[in-house]
Structure 1
Amino acid sequence: MTYWLFQGNPKYYRIIDGIRDFEQMPWLVTRYAKDISHGDGVLIWKSGDKAGVYAIAEIIESPK
């Protein structure tokens, strides 16, 4: 299993609200899309003020 670090920038997306409110959350992947697979792990990183890992998730479908 591979783990990926997905960064959420609060200037563009309310990442904390998304983590709290959604069971599934779409994510724009601009790099390594062909390497990301169903079942891979994800660490959701919030950038900016109070930066850090705020959630652990799992890829449920391949990027499109």
Structure 2
Amino acid sequence: MRKEQRCLMYNFVSRLEVTKMPSTGQKPGKGTYTCTSCGQSVTLDDHTDTLPPCPKCNGTEYR
């Protein structure tokens, strides 16, 4: 693997580690979040709102 390829791969992996999916109990900010288990959408109207468990399946991970 060439040096340029290694650098690109490292940068890609580094960004993946930083980009965590929001989960129940976090305050990810205003927006609409989709449950990774069932696809149900949850909208947070304020940056201080806490992400609840999914109202449909009680899932805890969102995208």
Normalising by structure 2, we get a TM-score of 0.21
Larger Rg: 2
More helix by share: 2
Normalising by structure 1, we get a TM-score of 0.21
More strand by share: 1
